[in-house]
A and B are shown apart, each in its own frame.
Chain A
Amino acid sequence: KNEVEQSPQNLTAQEGEFITINCSYSVGISALHWLQQHPGGGIVSLFMLSSGKKKHGRLIATINIQEKHSSLHITASHPRDSAVYICAVRSAGAGSYQLTFGKGTKLSVIP
């Protein structure tokens, strides 16, 4: 069973700071998702990646398959980025598409 660990658990940043959230997992994967959970509880999918790097606006996600590690970066952080960021993985193996989730990183960006 894949164990997904995120760090830090909580992160407070000043507006404009560069932010990094880390995710590591224990077993090989087919795909890794970064999700954003708003204070009201809703979940938005940010990225799905299986190798390399993806960028969307101020968000960048990278993955290192050999090291079983992924990072989510936010450049020029803004108070509206305040949310819980969740890493979820699909373990490698035929036929299984269930996701295993990390506990999330709670980000607060202060003006």
Chain B
Amino acid sequence: EPEVTQTPSHQVTQMGQEVILRCVPISNHLYFYWYRQILGQKVEFLVSFYNNEISEKSEIFDDQFSVERPDGSNFTLKIRSTKLEDSAMYFCASGGVIRETQYFGPGTRLLVL
């Protein structure tokens, strides 16, 4: 069964460093999402992406964040200058023709020191 994959599974970085989180959505999907979950808290929406542009973003998704679909298969989330509070699990999700259904990846656990 097709699945969403994410790399790396864990990443440790120093405050102020740039990180890129990678996702490979299900191949024929059109809609892509990033969510995050700070330890012990709710999952929160960050951004959605369709037709090579951002379709929605939350207040969390400020200028430090960017998303890209560089090659038609990967979907990346870049954090330009990480802060301690960016430590969280980041989930990618993708959706197909039935946009309501979202398939989640296993997550990347980011730790900023």
User: Which chain A residue shows the least CB distance to B108?
Assistant: A41
1-59 of chain A: CB within 8 A of chain B? 30-31, 33, 35, 40-45, 48, 50
Contact between chains at B48 and A42 (CB < 8 Å): no
Known: A98-B56, A98-B58. A48 touches B100 (CB 8 A): yes
The answer for the CA separation of A60 and B100 in the assembled complex, in Å, is: 19
B18 contacts A by Cβ under 8 Å: no
Q: Secondary structure of the B side of the interface? A: strand
Contact between chains at B107 and A97 (CB < 8 Å): no
B102 contacts A by Cβ under 8 Å: yes
Task: State the A residues within 8 Å of B (CB).
Answer: 30-31, 33, 35, 40-45, 48, 50, 86, 88, 90, 95-104
Task: State the B residues within 8 Å of A (CB).
Answer: 31, 33, 35, 37, 41-45, 48, 55-56, 58, 89, 91, 95, 99-107, 109
Closest 10 A-B residue pairs measured CB to CB? A43-B104, A98-B45, A42-B106, A101-B43, A101-B42, A31-B100, A41-B107, A41-B89, A103-B42, A48-B101
- Beyond the given pairs A45-B101, A45-B104, A98-B48, 15 more chain A to chain B contacts, judged by CB atoms under 8 angstroms and listed by A's residue number, are A30-B100, A31-B100, A41-B106, A41-B107, A41-B109, A42-B104, A42-B105, A43-B107, A48-B100, A50-B100, A95-B56, A97-B55, A97-B56, A99-B102, A101-B43
